[in-house]
Amino acid sequence: MLTINNIEVIYNDVILVLRGVSIKVGEGQIVALLGANGAGKTTTLKAISGLLHAEEGKVTRGSIDFENEQIDKLTPDQIVARGIVQVLEGRRLFRHLSVEENLLTGALTRKDRNAIINRDLEQIYHYFPILKTLRKRTSGYLSGGEQQMLVIGRGLMSRPRLMMLDEPSIGLAPMLVQEIFEIIRKINQETGLPILLVEQNARIALDVAHYAYVMETGRVVLDGTPAQLAQNEDIKEFYLGMTQVGERKSYRDVKHYKRRKRWLG
């Protein structure tokens, strides 16, 4: 349903950030996009959602197709209208709006009647019951986990046909990460919603994903099913092994592994 064909992205007309990225997301799939800091994961998502334009970024080569339509020339609002929603990195909220208002902003572009939107709201509260008890609360004061649930819920309120999550696990306690990923899995299974998931926490991402890509300095260097990737020595060492040591340390290792070896590329 989503096909990224060998795209190149340039910021400010000079900085080449993506150098030929190809990714596919199929019907009903959770696809994980892994990679170290600065690999270009967020840039890839913004290329899809059209948010690059506002940052002086451009797709200069290749194409992005969604349900047989080329979308890389569309504006972000047109892309949301096509059914693709990007949940931004870092749990970005409209902090002065209440929890429920935040959820409703997700549905602002829909033409549906209020009754239908309220039903979807109930559906979100069904997945994230805590949000219902906090619905009148100013969202800026929620805890990190609650904020993450809220931004995912807001994404769902647009009734997407493809949802893109940018590092939902970042900065959350392991228990919470588990809980949120279980809900992501459940949403995918119950509604068939395809999800493109950017993560640094490879263990949990590979656990829910049907397929995964690994990016490094603007390129896809490896892809496969989670089972295949889990067999890969580099993945074992730098993505899976690291979670026991703690994420901080592992990022420092990334430099040395880059020097040591480049996957495929």
Partner 1 sequence: MNWVLVPQQIATGILNGGIIALISLGVVLIFKSSEIFNFAHGHLLMLGAYVTWWFAGGNQDGTEVFNLPLIPAFLIAVLVAIVVGLLIERFALRPMTGQPLLSIVLMTLGLALFIEGVVSLVFGVQPSAVFPSPFSPSAVFRVPFPGAMGGFIILKKTLVLSFGAAMLASIAFALFFNFTKTGLAMRATSEDHELARSVGLNVPRIFGLSWAIAGVIATVGGILLAMLTGASLNLSTVVLVAFPAILLGGLDSFLGAIVGGITVGLVQALVQASSNIEVRNSAEIAPYVVLLIVLVIRPEGLFGQKRIERI
Ligand X SMILES: Nc1ncnc2c1ncn2[C@@H]1O[C@H](COP(=O)(O)OP(=O)(O)OP(=O)(O)O)[C@@H](O)[C@H]1O
Q: Which residues bind ligand X (CB under 6 A)?
A: 11-12, 15, 17, 35, 37-43, 55, 57, 89, 200
**108 contributes a contact to partner 1 by CB under 8 A:** yes
Number of residues that bind partner 1 (CB under 8 A): 34
Among 35, 40, 57, 106, binds partner 1 (CB under 8 A): 106
Nearest distance in Å: CB 141, partner 1: 6
- What does the alpha-carbon distance between residue 181 and residue 190 come to, in Å, rounded to a whole number? 14
- Structural contact between residues 157 and 120, judged by C-beta atoms closer than 8 angstroms: yes
Residue 15's binding partner out of ligand X, Mg ion, partner 1, none, with CB under 5 to 8 Å set by partner kind: ligand X
CA-based end-to-end distance of the chain: 27
Residue 97's binding partner out of ligand X, partner 1, Mg ion, none, with CB under 5 to 8 Å set by partner kind: partner 1
| C-beta pairs of 37-40 under 8 Å, 24+ apart in sequence | 37/200, 37/251, 37/254, 38/217, 39/215, 39/216, 39/217, 39/218, 40/9, 40/215, 40/217, 40/218, 40/219
* Neighbour count for residue 227 (Cβ, 10 Å): 8
Nearest distance in Å: CB 87, Mg ion: 12
Binding mask 113-132 for partner 1 (x = CB under 8 A): --------------------
- Structural contact between residues 113 and 160, judged by C-beta atoms closer than 8 angstroms: no
- What does the alpha-carbon distance between residue 74 and residue 39 come to, in Å, rounded to a whole number? 24
Between 96 and 186, whose beta carbon lies closer to partner 1? 96
Q: Residues in the site for partner 1, rule: CB under 8 A?
A: 49, 51, 54, 56, 75-77, 79-81, 85-88, 90-97, 101, 104-106, 108-109, 138, 140-141, 144, 154, 158
